[in-house]
Amino acid sequence: MLKVGIDLELADYRILAYLFAAYIFFVWCWKESLVRSSLLKDKPPYWYTLELLSAVVFGVCLEWVGVHMLNYYHYGYSLVSILDIPLSTPLGWGAIIYSAMLTTDKLEAPSWTRPFLDAFFAIQIDLGMDVVATRLGLWTWTYYPEDVKWSMDWFGVPYGNYFGWIFTVLFFSLIFRLIRKREIRPKQWILKYLVVGVGVILCCEILLFGTLEIGRIFQVMGLSDKIVALWPWLLIAYPTFYGLKNIEKFRLSPLNIGISAFYHGFSLYVLVFTTLKHVNLTLIIINSMLFIGVLGFHLWLLKKEKNS
């Protein structure tokens, strides 16, 4: 169930950097969540820490379904594994989701837009990171045949992977933000977490599986599966734009800056300055734009914060 060990093949510093980063960012989130929880008076102890741990548990469950039930991919490297899932992956889920929710809380965007903003902040990290992690062998997609997979979907990463991120973060944030607003008795919160967790996982897997299968049908019919790829983005587009336009407070989140800057910056470094197969100019340009966009957004927040 739990495996600990470092494979000799982990000598590649690029792989080690990704794996250790997940642990470091999770510890950062853990410490930050304890501080935030200590300031709450109307919620159970360690409230934000429980949210962080819930995101990690959901990550384990979703990854287990993707690997063992749907067989869409398999993992290549790990430091510690649980249920044959590298622990760094669900810890990464937890850190990214928690930091996204922290950012929208600090910005005090309109309440109804926050789950959509959370999904947006999370998916922008995964867009650049996954294509590099896949090429490093951290995981291998089996969804498409070997001879064509690098040219399929998002530079070899199935669109369904990003649908999974969008819907998982969206539903997780939506439901837990609703729970925050309710008065919860000490004996009730554990049951609520369990029920919510099962519901989120089932919804995400149904949407993910359905979208992937629709994409396959489109391919068989000779239609572009990019049509299918657009609808989750259209779902979050307006709420995200509205939320960013109506930010009430301009406050930076060092946690979100650190996570976004590392994953975008290190991924771009690996693409440009190291030897990696299946890399083209378009991929480098897109990752550069993602990195510049993240830096630009936080510099804009910094300027607004100083002027407010």
Digit-coded pLDDT (tens) for 224-247 = 556 666 777 888 899 999 998 888
pLDDT, residue 42, reads 66
Token pair, residue 296, equals: 């630009």
Residues 6+ apart with CB under 8 A from 144: 152, 153, 158
Instruction: Describe the chain by its helix, strand, coil percentages, rounded to 5.
Output: 75, 5, 20
Q: How many whole angstroms from its chain centre is CA 219?
A: 27
**Strand 73-75 to 139-141 pairing:** antiparallel
**Residue 204: domain span:** 2-248
pTM: 0.87
**Strand 73-75 to 80-82 pairing:** unpaired
Q: Is residue 134 part of a domain?
A: yes
- CA 120, 164, 270, 154 dihedral sign is negative
Q: Is residue 265 part of a domain?
A: no
Count of domains for the chain: 1
Q: What is the pLDDT of residues 106-146, one digit of tens each?
A: 888 999 999 999 999 999 999 999 999 999 988 888 866 66
Q: Is residue 304 part of a domain?
A: no
- CA-wise closest residue to 91 among 136, 57, 51, 132: 57
